[in-house]
Chains A and B, each alone.
Chain A
Amino acid sequence: MLASAMPSFTFAATQDIESRFMGASQLLVNHDLSPAVGARIAAFAQASYPNLGDMLDRITETAATRGASRVEDFFDAIPEGELRDFAFWVISAWYTGSSSGDRDATLFTYEEALLYQPTIDMVPIPTFGFSAPNAWGNDLYPLTDLPRF
């Protein structure tokens, strides 16, 4: 009985950490986030940060204390050091789609990495088509017109 109960316990724990990770991520990144990508980042984080759950909770509590739902409204309240570094790591993981800038890093996503979204009106995600043949000579859009994503 114990053996058959263990997998469901593990599954539930995994679901819990994914849910808490997505909750914290939505506070750190002001964009629509993919749960599938989040699950991959959370799995990596779980293996890399022994105190992951605690850090996720502290980030969530920090935002709640400020009544904040956007990262700009509470990020400065995250204590510098391990927790601030972790928060930056989460943001970087969503933007770069990789666990670090190293060439042997773990890939979480390519085309869903947020890095490409602020420029998606002007620059393709490499390998994906951008325009009709010979039709990429559009105007130079201003820097201020951020695409919505």
Chain B
Amino acid sequence: MTSSSQVIVVGTGVVGSVIAEHCLDAGLEVLMIEAGPRVSRAQIVENYRNLPLGAKPDATASYPPADWAPHPFHGLEHLESTGPNKYDPTYIRYAGGSTWHWAGTSWRLTPEDMQLRSRYGVGRDWAFDYETLDPYYNMTERKLGICGPADPLDQWPRRDRSMPYPMPHLPLSQGERKFTEVMQTKLGLRNVPVAQARNSGMPYDDRPACCANNNCVPVCPVGAKYDAATSLNRLEAKGATILDNSVVYRVETGEGNRIVAVHYYDRDKTSHRVTGEHFVIACNGVETPRLMLMSADDRNPNGIANSSDQVGRNMMDHPQQGYTFTTTEPYWLGAGPVVNSGIMETSQGDFRRDHAAVYFRLNNFARNRDIAKRAMASGKVGRALDEEIRRLTATSLNVVAAFEMLPDPNNRLTLSAQKDWLGLPRPSVYWDVGDYVRRSSVEYSNPLAQRIAEAVGATDFKPASPEKFSTSKHIMGGTIMGNDAATSVVDRHSRTHDHANLYLPGGGAMASTACGNSTITMTAMAFMAAEALVSEAKGA
């Protein structure tokens, strides 16, 4: 069994994989340790197809957790949620991580999104500006294979790009085009094609072009969408060693408070110790702070990297509210990828001093499964039932409002008294979306959603309750980044302030959420971390 490596990467999701490959390309020795199993795409597709209709909307139902690597899963107690709102992430602990079931949506932050404190007097500023991040976004878009629009008016953010997208954007279906036209002519809002990690009209990175299987969540059956599992064979070909079913439960410190080893349990609950020179913990925004807290020792009584007491605090997401309404004219959503367009311009403005920004996503999931209950309850039979299914599928729209959220130290991950299968403390999260978000729902989002519904001729719009928010499953904030070691966990390179050879890249490091999905920002930060690590390893 491998017992040492120059670089140890814990986690095989997109962040860990990108860093591992960067290190391998630089000639470093890399060991990757994954808590969960390594599975085939075909197995996940069959899992999905064999779910009853009522379980199919659940993004994690196709990914049953291993006993030793539990993750949030229906019927399984793993993550505790306390506080006024329900914290309900859907990360999975599988080789390849949660990009298995992401939609592939790849919005960049805007310059303003990174300067909330200085511009609007709320939240935190990032440790660097957009111009610093821009080249790493470019690297991310090429590594993952992100398609996006060439028309500057359709790009996000709306500013000159330093590099074009590597692929043209995926076409909108006729229904999405119709929605786009209605938004523009009736509301003056621009519904733009989503930049997404999906192959558009061509193969890319040894993966095929998208052919509209409309199942990006929970799994792309053909691998047209990037997920980190698609990169693991390549990493091994470059020399990486990947241990799966190996649960890192302790990070060990040594002289100078440097990290000297990690300890993991195999599936037989046998413990192993692996030493290294450089350590990357990229387990996601829940499991990474959990591991830091579990690893408390005499040098670090509050947990690893936690001299600031910020590990586990500032947990963030994109709280969301969904609107489903029926139109009189057919829109026929469901052709193409499951998320293909959205309205981003509602996420910017001086109003952010007072309430959260919001982004409206036009979901493009085939509507059949969602309207089934309603159609069957209609009491219709025969041709009338067929016509009802056709009518509801064609005229049912689902628009989701995704809010930004401010870092609040009270939104905190701690260790539960409850233990998991290995005897490790389960994560517990206190969760309150906050008045900043609630105000936005009442004063901004609901009125906008109603205008959108009326514009498309909806007959049954219902405002969302200002008390009810679901999570977008975008885990951010728990190991927050900053220049001040007293108020943050990691520096601009996602390196911990407390340990010179420990990196905690990923959503946990993000200092603001904005409204767009977090993955490519996490990945861009991973490239920054990888550069710093390689530089350190090379003695630069």
Contact = CB atoms under 8 A, between A and B. Distances in A.
Interface of A: 28, 30, 70-72, 75, 88, 91-92, 95-107, 110-111, 113, 115-119, 122-134, 136-143, 146
Contact of B372 (A71, A101, A106, A123): A101
Contacts of A72: 381-384
B58 interface: yes
B373 A131 contact: no
B70 to A, nearest CB: 19
Contact of B175 (A129, A132, A140): A140
B500 interface: no
B52 A98 contact: yes
A113 B212 CA distance: 20
B139 interface: no
19 contacts: A30-B383, A72-B381, A72-B382, A72-B384, A107-B51, A115-B368, A116-B368, A118-B393, A122-B335, A123-B332, A124-B213, A130-B213, A130-B214, A131-B335, A138-B174, A138-B335, A140-B332, A142-B330, A143-B395
A99 B52 CA distance: 8
A73 B51 CA distance: 34
Main secondary structure of the interface of B (DSSP, over half): loop
A106 B381 contact: no
B387 interface: yes
| Closest A-B pairs by Cβ, 3 of them | A133-B209, A130-B212, A123-B334
B52 A129 contact: no
Contact of B171 (A106, A126, A127, A134): A134
Given A107-B51, A118-B393, A127-B49, A96 B211 contact: no
A130 B221 contact: no
B515 to A, nearest CB: 26
Given A101-B372, A115-B368, A146-B383, A136 B212 contact: yes
B211 A131 contact: yes
Contacts of B174: 137-140
Nearest to B45: A127
Contacts of B210: 133-134
User: What size tier do the contact residues of chain B reach?
Assistant: 35 or more
Contacts of B375: 95, 115
Main secondary structure of the interface of A (DSSP, over half): loop
B386 A118 contact: yes
A127 B382 contact: no
Contacts of B455: none
Nearest to B201: A134
A111 B382 contact: no
B242 interface: no
Contacts of B199: 133
Contacts of A96: 53, 372, 376
A142 B390 CA distance: 10
Nearest to A124: B214
B238 to A, nearest CB: 29
B211 A130 contact: yes
Interface of B: 45, 48-55, 58, 61, 74, 170-175, 177-178, 199-202, 209-215, 219, 221-222, 330-332, 334-336, 365-369, 372-373, 375-376, 379, 381-387, 389-391, 393-395
Contacts of B331: 140
B58 A122 contact: no
A72 to B, nearest CB: 4
A101 B56 CA distance: 10
A126 B201 contact: no
Contacts of A141: 330, 332
A119 B373 contact: no
A117 B214 CA distance: 16
A107 B52 CA distance: 5
Contact of B201 (A70, A110, A129, A133): A133
Contacts of B222: 129
Contacts of A113: 53
A119 B54 contact: no
Given A30-B382, A72-B382, A126-B213, A119 B368 contact: yes
Contact of B53 (A101, A124, A127): A101
B258 to A, nearest CB: 47
B213 A129 contact: yes
Given A97-B53, A126-B366, A127-B49, 17 more contacts: A95-B385, A97-B52, A115-B368, A115-B369, A119-B390, A122-B394, A123-B368, A123-B393, A124-B366, A130-B211, A131-B335, A134-B209, A134-B210, A139-B174, A142-B330, A143-B394, A146-B383
Contact of A136 (B52, B335, B383): B335
A126 B382 contact: no
A75 B379 CA distance: 11
A75 B385 CA distance: 13
A138 B332 CA distance: 10
A129 B219 CA distance: 13
A103 B51 CA distance: 8
A127 B375 CA distance: 23
A110 to B, nearest CB: 5
A103 B54 contact: yes
A146 B390 CA distance: 8
Contacts of A128: 213, 221
A134 B52 contact: no
B527 to A, nearest CB: 29
A136 to B, nearest CB: 4
B209 A143 contact: no
A12 B372 CA distance: 35
A124 B175 contact: no
